[in-house]
Amino acid sequence: MNTAAEHDARLRERFPELDLSVTDALDMPTIVVPAARIVDVLTFLRDEAGFTMLTDLSACDWHGRQPRYHVNYHLYSLDSSGRARVKVELADEPEPHVPTATPVFAAANWHEREVFDFFGIVFDGHPDLRRILMPDEWIGHPLRKDYPVGGVPVEYRIEPAYVGENVVPRDTRPAAGGVPVRLRRDRGRLSHMTWTGPPASGVPVHKPSQAEEISEEGKDS
Amino acid sequence: MTIDTRDVWVEDETMRVNMGPQHPSTHGVLRLLVEVNGEVVVNVEPIIGYLHTGIEKQAETLNWIQCVTDITRADYLSNFFNELAYCVAVEKLSGVEIPPRAQWIRILLCEFNRISSHLVWLATGGLELGAMSMATYAFREREQILDLYQAITGTRMNHAYFRPGGIALDIRPDHEQQIRDLIKVLSARFVEYEEFLASNPIWVQRNKGIGILKPEDAIHLGVTGPALRASGIAHDLRKVSDYLPYDKFEFDIPTGDVGDCYDRFLVRMAEMHESLKIIQQAIDTMPTGDFRASGKLVPPPRNRLPVSMEAVIHHFKLFTDGPHVPAGEVYVAVESPRGELGYFVASDGRGRPWRCHIRGPSFTNLQIAPLVAPGYLLADLIAILASIDPVMGDVDR
């Protein structure tokens, strides 16, 4: 019913020029489609193969490999309960482009905004391509592998707001045992990619400066 | 100070008002930019992201076992489903089959979780539409279910109880009686609640004929779960997927006819009864045996540690380095209380997930708000929102 071989034959018949191959992945048949023809293939799968539902659209950054970005469309057929994954592979560019799938599946709207937000992949023709989960003024695309974890400066200072008589400011109190606590912010952690070299340009990397190595009063003692 | 009225007043006398992000009826920090003409909603734009906590990014820094504690916080009302989808994905990548007892315990807890999640929907939904006492009643029963979670998993929420390869701890014999007692209490109460609300003319008036979602729109927008079933499409992943052996259990898929808020209410009420049926069958047919698979994905049995050097090495490697999951990518979808909860997990063959994408059902279902709300009163928007039952932890992740 929902085998790779069956889809393979039908897709080859319909798109002879694309040389599509459907492979049986671990979970579902997977089709790799060139970005320019994604709308045609999705329309075909919706109208003629019964995949009436786009359940998920996400991306994956295979940093260090070529092609770097994969955009995965997970389709579902209500009739046969079958699934299929359509994959678009994109080269390592600052702004990869894919045509939008919103005319085919309205569900793609927010999912494409999410992929744009987190990966910087631009969906051409999207009705309202804005950031969706990150703030509008955010710089960089956080789920790219060269975007550091914890690379965001956190706004806190150790400056007692109120120091009265006989009141030891909470932040300068020695920790248990009388040893002053040395607070330090862990910076520049990359998500298991630390050895891949400097991040791509455009991604703000916060370099710890001396001021941020916050120490307590009496650190010399 | 002059007030710039350009954003407030639009030419045709409609007005834009912000509902949220701090509004009691938005189920968390959802912000709705509502354009109203008098009391009638003209347009709604949900603005999300206020609860974004970077769960997917964080997952890439944790090893395969630690990751459970991270992703369980995504949909904080149905923690077990997050853990389930993730664990099934990891098991699929590793080619691990879990023993029947673990499957049964997973089913048992997931169905309890479906009930406890629906009880929060019932409580808050009732509260928002003026049925104040519903909130106290439903939370009373939810509390008993959370007590059961605490007895079994050690925590009331964010359990990290399902682990790749099985579950963390076996359930004890004394839990069985607790579960049986709870089933008796709940089945009587659900009947009460349904009568309580369905015989309330205000509740019926505020829900019937409100927020009608047509089946073709629901499919086009990727809506799943009770919202889709209320529109008349009997789609339930428990019946068609094999992530857990639900084919060994007897239960029905309740559906609606109209697809309005009232149908969504009825579908969820019926689902709670069906879940109880599944729990009853699960506790009656609970298999004996191991509660987790053997192999590299799970820790060695405790009694092997003093006698086997291999077990010590395995234990040490597992908890320092984490298991190594074969390279590949997999998409696993489970039927959560809100619909299809999908996890796309990719591995590069090393000790951490390369990518862990969460397809939250609330995220997709919330897209129907701009479609169904226009034309109804502003007060009806509250009813519509309550009937979609979004959890912002699931929307924003």
What is the ipTM for the molecules in this complex?
Answer: 0.87
Q: Does B50 touch chain A (CB under 8 A)?
A: no
A33 and A82 share one domain: yes
A101 and A159 share one domain: no
Amino acid at B224: T
Q: Decide which of A124, A139, A162 is a domain's last residue.
A: A124
List of chain A residues whose C-beta atoms are within 8 Å of the C-beta of residue B241:
81
Quick check: is A9 in a domain?
A: yes
Question: What integer pLDDT is reported at residue A58 of this predicted model?
Answer: 92
Residue among A132, A138, A152 with most chain B CBs within 10 A, to mutate: A132
List of chain B residues whose C-beta atoms are within 8 Å of the C-beta of residue A149:
57-58, 60-61
Select from B60, B221, B357 the Cβ nearest to the Cβ of A58: B357
A43 and A115 share one domain: yes
A37 and A114 share one domain: yes
Q: Decide which of A124, A143, A168 is a domain's last residue.
A: A124
Section B353-369 average pLDDT:
91
Question: What integer pLDDT is reported at residue B194 of this predicted model?
Answer: 84
Q: Does A105 touch chain B (CB under 8 A)?
A: yes
- Per residue in A121-167, pLDDT (tens digit) is 999 998 888 888 888 888 888 888 888 776 666 555 444 444 444 44
| Domain that residue A200 falls in | 152-211
A11 and A60 share one domain: yes
Least confident of B19-23, B29-33, B110-114, B177-181: B19-23
Half-sphere exposure of A215 (CA within 13 A, CB side): 9
Question: What integer pLDDT is reported at residue A37 of this predicted model?
Answer: 87
Structure confidence at residue B7 as a pLDDT band (50, 70, 90) = low
Question: What integer pLDDT is reported at residue B169 of this predicted model?
Answer: 87
Quick check: is A220 in a domain?
A: no
Which residues neighbour A33 within 8 Å (Cβ) at sequence distance 6 or greater?
A: A18, A20, A41, A86, A87, A88
Structure confidence at residue B312 as a pLDDT band (50, 70, 90) = very high
Section A185-200 average pLDDT:
40
A8 and A103 share one domain: yes
Section B73-97 average pLDDT:
91
Quick check: is A218 in a domain?
A: no
A18 and A58 share one domain: yes
Question: What integer pLDDT is reported at residue A100 of this predicted model?
Answer: 92
Quick check: is A166 in a domain?
A: yes
A25 with B220: Cβ contact below 8 A: no
A71 and A118 share one domain: yes
Least confident of A172-186, B160-174, B256-270, B309-323: A172-186
pTM above 0.90, yes or no: no
Distance from CA of B122 to the nearest CA of A (A): 26
- Per residue in B35-72, pLDDT (tens digit) is 888 888 888 988 888 888 889 988 888 888 889 999 99
Quick check: is A43 in a domain?
A: yes
Residue among B344, B358, B372, B395 with most chain A CBs within 10 A, to mutate: B344
A108 and A169 share one domain: no
Quick check: is A73 in a domain?
A: yes
Helix B173-198 to helix B261-284 angle, to the nearest 10 degrees? 160
Q: Does B346 touch chain A (CB under 8 A)?
A: yes
Instruction: Identify the CATH number of the domain in which residue A39 sits.
Output: 3.30.460.80
Distance from CA of A48 to the nearest CA of B (A): 16
Pairing of strands B40-47, B31-37: antiparallel
Q: Does B45 touch chain A (CB under 8 A)?
A: no
Residue A197: pLDDT over 50: no
- Per residue in A62-119, pLDDT (tens digit) is 888 888 899 999 999 888 888 889 999 988 888 899 999 999 998 899 999 999 999 9
Structure confidence at residue B131 as a pLDDT band (50, 70, 90) = confident
List of chain A residues whose C-beta atoms are within 8 Å of the C-beta of residue B363:
110, 114
Chain B neighbours among A 9-28 (CB < 8 Å)? 25-28
A178 and A114 share one domain: no
A189 and A117 share one domain: no
A110 and A32 share one domain: yes
In chain A, the number of structural domains is 2
Pairing of strands A97-99, A122-124: parallel
Q: Decide which of A109, A124, A139 is a domain's last residue.
A: A124
Quick check: is A147 in a domain?
A: no
Quick check: is A219 in a domain?
A: no
Contact B189, B269 (CB under 8 A): no
Neighbour-count burial of B65, counting CB atoms closer than 10 A to its CB (0-12 exposed, 13-18 middle, 19+ buried): buried
- The CA-atom distances, in angstroms, between B304 and each of B28, B170, B310, B314, B347 are 47, 18, 9, 11, 30
Contact B343, B90 (CB under 8 A): no
Taking alpha carbons only, the member of B167, B177, B126, B106 closest to residue B335 is: B106
